[in-house]
Amino acid sequence: MSQIRVVLFEDNKHLRESLYYLINGTEGCMCAGAFPDCNNLVVQIKKTQPDVVLMDIEMPGMKGTEAVKIINKEFPGVQVLMQTIFQDDDNIFSAICAGASGYILKTTSPAGYIEAIKDVHNGGSPMTGSVARKILQLFQEKIPAISSSTDYHLTPKEKEILQHLVKGKSFKMIADATGTTYETVRTHMKNIYAKLHVNSNTEAVSKALNERIV
C-alpha cells in the first residue's frame, strides 16, 4: 500500500522539524514538504502532491483559514488538518467554514498526531474532544430550532403555495405554477395568513423562513 503524503505548514521551526521527523519515522507516512509560511502555497502544493496538509492556524502572512479556502478550491481532494494552540470560537468557526477536515490542538501527543493524520486520510474528521464540544455548541447556537418549530397545521397545498411565495412569486405566478386559478391561490393565502397569524405576504415569508416551515 502506498504511503500517505503529508505536507506541513508551521512557522515554529522546532515544531516543524519535530513533526517532519515524526511523520517520516512513521510507517505508512512520509513528509513531502515542510514550510514555514503560506507564500507560494499553490505552487508548493502542486509540487509536493500531498494527501494530507497539516496546517497551523496562526502564521505570519496568510492566515491558516485563508490557506484552507484556497486549498479546498484548487485541490479539492486534499484533506486539511488544522492545528492550533487556541480554541476560541472564531478560529474554529472560520476554519470549519473554510472547509477544514479536522481540528486538533498542539497539545496532542505525537501518537495522536499520527492517528489524526491517518484518520483524516481515511475520511474521518479527528478533533480534540474540547474542540468537538465547541463545534456542537456553535451548531446548536446557529441552528436554533430546526425541529422545535411549532406546527401550524398547514395542508400540503398550503405549504406548496407558501414555498412559491417564499421564492418571490406573485399570486398569479403561483396559480400558474400550481395549475390552479388566481382566486384559489388567494383563498389558500387567506387560510395561510389565518394559520400563521399574519396579515401580509412579507410577514408570511418572514415567518416561513425563520421558522423553517417551508
The interface with DNA within residues 111-130 (CB under 7 A) comprises none
Q: Which of DNA, a second copy, none has residue 76 at its interface (CB below 5 to 8 Å by kind)? A: none
Q: Which residues, 6+ apart, have CB-to-CB distance to 110 below 8 Å?
A: 22
* CB 163, min distance to a second copy, A: 11
Q: Least separation, in Å, of the C-beta of 99 and a second copy?
A: 7
The three three-digit cell numbers of residue 68, written as one number = 484552507
Binding mask 191-210 for DNA (x = CB under 7 A): --x-----xxx---------
Cα Dmax for the chain: 75
Q: Footprint of a second copy on this chain (CB under 8 A)?
A: 93-94, 96-102, 119-120, 122-130, 132-133, 135-136, 138-140, 142-143, 146-148, 165-170, 198, 200-207, 209-210
Residue number with CB closer to DNA (51 or 158): 158
Min dist. Cβ of residue 131 to a second copy (A):
8
Closest CB to a second copy among 30 and 198?
Answer: 198
* Cα-based distances in Å from 128 to 104, 106, 142, 164, 198: 5, 10, 21, 43, 46
Grid coordinates given for 33: 514538504
Phi-psi label, residue 149: left if phi above 0, alpha if psi -120 to 50, beta otherwise: beta
Does residue 163 touch DNA according to CB under 7 A? no
Q: How far is the CB of 120 from a second copy (least distance, A)?
A: 8
**Burial class of 39 by CB neighbour count within 10 A (0 to 12, 13 to 18, 19+):** exposed
3-state SS, residue 70: helix
**Chain positions contacting DNA, by CB under 7 A:** 153, 155-158, 170-172, 178-184, 186-190, 193, 199-201
